[in-house]
A and B are shown apart, each in its own frame.
Chain A
Amino acid sequence: MSKPIIATASLAGCFGCHMSILDIDDRILQLIELVEFNKSPIDDIKTFTKQCDIGIIEGGCCNSENVHVLKDFRKNCKILISLGECAIMGGLPAMRNGIPVKECIEEAYLDGPTVGENKERILPNDEELPIILDKVYPLHEIVKIDYYLPGCPPRADLIWKAVVALATGDELNIPYELVKFD
């Protein structure tokens, strides 16, 4: 059997989950023996070049482009995994969900203490830019998600065990402390 193909993406996240993927340390050498990477920031392949087996997504959807990428992943991956708090529940970005979009945008571009000079009070509205959504959505509200790996970020060992289990078909054995943080 050929090696399973993995794709990854970070949407409205902080790339912390991807950092956690890299935290598997030297096991990355075993990983490239086990799987092949396609579209991913890890190898910098920008678009899908073939059908993939496993899609791993960090971050929720805060804008139209996130939704576009997510749907693209669903189309191109047999199995889709929500990686980390933001993908699963919206996470920190979702703290804006209780605040009207207008206030969020004005705080970011006009009134916030870190806003520099914006005398013309310009709000970014170029048609090329992704459009901010009314709220931050977790992935499973937009497409079907097959598995969830919790954590902020999920521990490297958890990601490793999950990917190995999917790649080899072996049973996934997760110790309590890998998914519980209390």
Chain B
Amino acid sequence: MKEKIISIIESYGRTSGRLMDILLSVQAEFRCVSEEAVSLIASELGVSEADVNQTKTFYHFFTTKPVGKYAVYMNNSVTSVMKGMYDVVDEFEKQAGIKFGQTTPDGLLSLNYTACIGMSDQEPAALINNVVFTELTRDKVRKIYSDMRDGKPVEAMFNEFGDGNNANQLVKTMVKNNIRRRGNVTLGEYEVGKGLTKALSMSSQEVIDEIKNSNLRGRGGAGFPTGLKWQFCSKETGDKYVMCNADEGEPGTFKDRVLLTERAHMIFEGMAVAGYAIGAKEGVLYLRHEYKYLKAFMESVLAELRNKNILGNNILGKGFNFDIRVQFGAGAYVCGEESALIESSEGKRGEPRNRPPFPVQRGYNAKPTVINNVETFCSVVKIIENGSAWYRGMGTEESAGTKLLSISGDCKMPGVYEIEWGMTIADMLQMVGAEDVQAVQVAGPSGICLPPSQFNRKIAIEDLPTGGSMIVIGANRDLIKDVVLNFMEFFEDESCGSCVTCRSFNMILRKQVKKVVDGRGIKSDLDNMLAWGEIMRKTSRCGLGQTASNPVSTTIKNFLDLYNARVKDAEYQSDFDMHKAIEESCEVVGRPANIHE
């Protein structure tokens, strides 16, 4: 073990800045990062064990005990549950004879849950040894389990691949793109290198001005003007970085997965344009661990771009040097927050930083850094190619261009749609073949739960901003139990724990929602939930805590009747059960559990 770990450490240049990669390799090699491995890594890197442990324990996919030879991570996001996850779970448990959270005694198989893996349009889905299995059924589980018993490699368990690059020799996944609508920008026609060639014929300030004039705003969801971000960063001096946020973790979003699969060249090209504009030589694409299956493919695209001199030294003969590496995460929703993503890329816990300083001032390795979403970089390429006026011609006044939507849930045609900003929710529902809709969850759990009375609202930054996640919730669903409770369980798991209110209130709100679902709630519980959610919003450092109460607050606001039907009109109710509370201690000391009231 020692030699192998040392060679892993060597391969990452013996620096603690690459701790994430080191831990990922150790986990992949030994199916765990044991305590011995932690000590060894710490001593080899010259840091304390606590330094290694704090990173290790932060991420979902690092384990102290070995996972099974086949490590199943079942997605328990809301759409997976909607599409029959519990049947799949039941079949896995039956076949393996263990419960989720356990490993078979022979070490063959471990079963665990994980948060949304970006397959909401083909659920229920699971990762098995980082290989994606979609649209699982009881039959498929039985087949998979029997293959496991036969010792088949996971890659050999299926032979039908998805469309487009999903079938590429380096990818070979069953994942489907489900591209339902192409617009003119990110999923339109694309010729490698055209945008960058044009950018390099302009001055860097001209590139920034073009992006500014296009009104392009960040596609991750927050909608910050991209040109302005670049301008801020360009004014800083010294080494700079360009980072691409490919950590889409918002349940219900999967559009970046499609771009990473079909527009990898375009993403990297967009990063190079940004590098030229702000004066950076290095780029990092932070890719979520759930998309590990794209690793070899992404690296081959990088190699191809270097061969074409679109990356590397003296790019296209213009004296501009820029290269990119791919950094993997290890399962943490909060790393989609840009400063947490930077921390993670530096090998640390993915805890959001205090701001200011902003990443454009002090980002990756404490250097000025521009971070943009995958879709933003793709848009950049087309804006440079066709000009800002062309881009502004699409969308609305305040939201220029097109937006990729990841639409899932109760509709006939879930998948990725490139639309112009400004479409109404009603039109969207018609487009995806959704009938009898109870609600639409706009922008994922951290967004809002929209009732039919508001379906005339527009998908646009000025009305309904979204990173792209749209979950259609049919009339037959139990909104509070199936959706709100699921979302609060998600936030409770994913809070990094740094801010007290986010750490505590997510748990408290989850319990409170459960109380309502179980029929134990009273009217004042609803007021409490709203008040506590507001405290969490005001006192959390990052977007996670600031939005985590939205599932509760937007449904109480928009679906109050559903809550009122479940809560009692009592002033006070106690859940305290004296008999339960004394049972254990009576048994320990050996006395009858009698209470004389």
For residue B159, CB closer than 8 A to chain A, the reply is no
Within 8 A of B (CB), among A120-155: 123-127, 131-135, 137, 141-144
Within 8 A of A (CB), among B465-493: none
Q: Are B582 and A123 in contact (CB under 8 A)?
A: no
Interface residue A68 (Cβ < 8 Å from any Cβ of B): yes
Chain A CB within 8 A of B597 CB: yes
B574–A142 touching, CB < 8 Å: yes
Nearest B residue to A130 via CB reads B582
Minimum CB–CB distance from B576 to chain A (whole Å) comes to: 5
| A134 with B588, Cβ < 8 A, contacts A127-B594, A141-B574, A143-B574 known | no
- Asked if A105 CB lies within 8 Å of chain B CBs, one says yes
Per-residue B-contact encoding for A88-127, CB less than 8 Å = 1, 0 else: 0000000000001110011000000000000000011111
Task: Indicate if the CB atoms of B590 and A68 lie closer than 8 Å.
Answer: no
A132 to B578: give the CA distance in the assembly, Å: 11
Interface assignment of B156: CB less than 8 Å from any CB of chain A: no
Nearest residue in A to B580 (C-beta to C-beta)? A134
For B597, list chain A residues within 8 Å (CB): 68
Q: Is the CB of B576 within 8 A of A131?
A: no
Q: How far is the CB of B577 from chain A (nearest CB, A)?
A: 10
A123 in contact with B575 (CB, 8 Å): no
Closest Cβ neighbor of A71 among chain B residues? B597
CB distance from B440 to the nearest CB of A (A): 37
Cβ < 8 Å to B, chain A residues 50-86: 64, 67-68
B565 at the interface (CB under 8 A from A): no
* Residue from B575, B585, B592 within 8 A of A132 (CB atoms): B585
Would A134 and B590 count as touching, CB distance under 8 A?
no
B582: A residues at CB distance < 8 A: 64, 131-134
A143 to B590, CA, bound (A): 29
A64-B595, A131-B595 known; A105-B574 Cβ under 8 A: no
List A contacts of B593 (CB < 8 A). 131
What residues of chain B lie closer than 8 Å to A131, measured between beta carbons? Answer: 582, 585-586, 591, 593, 595
Q: Which residue of chain B is the closest to A105 with respect to CB atoms?
A: B588
- Interface size on A, as a range, is 20 to 34
For residue A106, which residues in chain B have a CB less than 8 angstroms away from its CB? Answer: 588
Complex alpha-carbon distance, A102 and B580, angstroms: 15
A137 to B578 alpha-carbon distance, docked (Å)? 11
Q: Taking each of B576, B588, B591, B592, which has the highest tally of chain A beta carbons within 10 Å of its own beta carbon?
A: B588
Residues A134 and B585 in contact, CB atoms below 8 Å apart? yes
The answer to whether A134 and B581 touch (CB under 8 A), given A142-B574, A142-B576, is yes
With contacts A105-B585, A134-B582, A134-B585 taken as known, whether A144 is within 8 angstroms of B591 at the C-beta atoms is: no
Q: Is B583 touching A134 in the complex (CB atoms < 8 A)?
A: yes
* B239 interface residue per 8 A CB criterion: no
- CB–CB A133/B589 < 8 A: no
CA distance A150 to B582 in the complex (A): 28
Contact A144 B571 (CB under 8 A): yes
A131 and B572 CA atoms in complex are apart in Å by: 26
Q: Is B584 an interface residue, CB under 8 A from the partner?
A: yes
Docked Cα-Cα span, A105 to B588, in Å, equals 8
Query: Are B589 and A125 closer than 8 Å at their CB atoms?
Result: yes
A134 to B577, CA, bound (A): 11
Cα-based distance from A142 to B582 in the complex (angstroms): 14
Tell me the bound Cα distance from A132 to B595 in angstroms.
12
A124 to B591, CA, bound (A): 9
Which residues from chain A contact B586 at a C-beta distance below 8 Å?
131
8 Å CB contact of A134 from B572, B584, B594, B595: B584
Q: How far is the CA of A175 from the CA of B85 in the complex (A)?
A: 54
Q: How far is the CA of A133 from the CA of B571 in the complex (A)?
A: 26
Q: A64-B578, A67-B578, A144-B572 given as contacts; is B591 within 8 A of A127 (CB)?
A: yes
> A67 to nearest B CB, angstroms?
6
State in angstroms the CA–CA spacing of A135 and B584 once bound together.
10
Name the A residues within 8 Å of B592 (CB-CB): 127
- The 29 sampled A-B contact pairs (Cβ below 8 Å) are A64-B582, A64-B595, A67-B576, A67-B578, A101-B585, A102-B584, A105-B589, A123-B588, A123-B589, A124-B589, A125-B589, A126-B591, A127-B592, A131-B585, A131-B591, A132-B582, A132-B585, A133-B581, A134-B580, A134-B582, A134-B584, A134-B585, A135-B581, A137-B576, A137-B581, A141-B576, A142-B576, A144-B571, A144-B572
